[in-house]
């Protein structure tokens, strides 16, 4: 159990038998009336975001979420196989649990796997990943002045938009949360 004064970003709460993580919170003391805490909660499993207000001092049940560093090994049908670096135990996690970040995962990549009562909740990739461009069309000479973008296929199969000067074989830094191009990596 945690009080509203213990709230912090990333804390996982158990509300109505569902797990919610706090993404934002604000303690509010109005001039008239009791204090309260305004929060933005994200459902751990579905990703749904809701606003919820708690009265100050209210006790809320917390959930124990274990985050462990693991290594992504390979994709096997509908599951992704991960290995715990300490115990060498392998676990398989479904595509739905891994989510959209799977399109930026390379074999032997270090990730964070969050579990609750030994059930995988989600997989966190590093914020930035370095991937090689497997294919992109060359930029046209006249297009360079417009600052436009073109599609590029990365080594993982993901397709992102990149500036026109990027060529096949370039190594890029990509934001794993939204797939945005962040820059070229000097080899």
Residues 76 and 88 in one domain: yes
Q: What is the pTM of this model?
A: 0.72
Shared domain check, 82 and 56: no
Judge if 119 and 132 occupy the same domain: no
For the CA atoms of 49, 55, 58, 61, what is the dihedral angle to 10 degrees? -10
Are 51 and 85 part of one and the same domain? Answer: no
Checking if the pLDDT of 34 tops 80, the result is yes
Written as six digits, the tokens of 123 are: 């997989």
CATH number of residue 44's parent domain: 2.30.30.30
Are residues 84 and 118 both part of a single domain? yes
Q: How many CB atoms lie within 10 A of CB 143?
A: 13
Q: Whats the size of the chain, residue-wise? A: 187
Over range 100-112, report the average pLDDT.
89
Are 137 and 180 in the same domain? yes
- For residues 125 and 140, give the distance between their C-alpha atoms in angstroms, rounded to a whole number: 34
Cα(181)–Cα(183) distance, integer angstroms: 6
Among 124, 140, 161, residue at a domain's last position: 124
**What strands lie across the sheet with 159-163, from one edge to the other?**
159-163, 149-154, 128-136, 171-175, 181-184
Q: What is the pLDDT of residue 6?
A: 85
118 with 148, same domain: the answer is: no
| Average of per-residue pLDDT across 15-30 | 88
To the nearest whole number, what is the mean pLDDT of the chain? 87
**Each residue's pLDDT tens digit, 42-95:** 888 777 889 999 998 889 898 888 888 999 999 888 899 999 988 888 999 888
Of 60, 78, 106, which residue is a domain's last?
60
CATH of the domain at 177: 2.40.50.140
Report d(CA 41, CA 24) in Å as an integer: 7
Question: In angstroms, rounded to a whole number, what is the distance separating the alpha carbons of residues 51 and 133?
Answer: 40
User: Are residues 113 and 123 in contact, defined by beta-carbon separation less than 8 angstroms?
Assistant: yes
Q: Does 134 score more than 90 pLDDT?
A: yes
Do residues 55 and 30 lie in contact, with contact meaning Cβ atoms separated by under 8 Å? no
- pLDDT at residue 187, as a whole number: 63
Domain identity same for 120 and 133: no
Asked whether residue 53 falls in the same domain as residue 73, the answer is no
Strand order in the sheet with 12-15: 12-15, 18-28, 36-43, 49-55
Domain count, the chain: 3
Same domain flag for 75 and 52: no
Q: In the prediction, which pLDDT does 122 show?
A: 82
DSSP letters, 147-159, are T-EEEEEETTS-E
Give the residue numbers spanning the domain of 119: 66-124
- Give the domain-ending residue among 30, 45, 60: 60
């Amino acid at each position: 159990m945690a009080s509203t004064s213990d709230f912090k970003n990333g804390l996982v709460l158990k509300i109505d038998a569902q797990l919610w993580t706090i993404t934002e919170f604000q303690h509010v003391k109005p001039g008239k009336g009791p204090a309260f805490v305004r929060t933005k909660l994200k459902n751990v499993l579905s990703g749904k975001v809701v606003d919820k207000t708690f009265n100050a001092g209210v006790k809320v049940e917390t959930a124990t979420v274990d985050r462990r560093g693991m290594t992504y090994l390979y994709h096997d049908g509908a599951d992704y196989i991960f290995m715990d670096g300490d115990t060498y135990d392998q676990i398989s996690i479904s595509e739905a649990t891994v989510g959209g970040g799977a399109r930026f995962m390379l074999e032997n990549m270090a990730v964070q796997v969050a579990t609750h009562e030994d059930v995988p909740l989600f997989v966190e990739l590093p914020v930035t990943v370095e991937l090689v461009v497997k294919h992109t069309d060359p930029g046209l000479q006249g297009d360079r002045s417009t600052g436009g973008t073109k599609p590029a296929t990365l080594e993982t199969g993901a397709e992102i938009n990149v500036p026109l000067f990027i060529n096949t074989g370039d190594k890029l830094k990509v934001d794993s949360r939204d797939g945005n191009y962040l820059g070229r990596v000097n080899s």
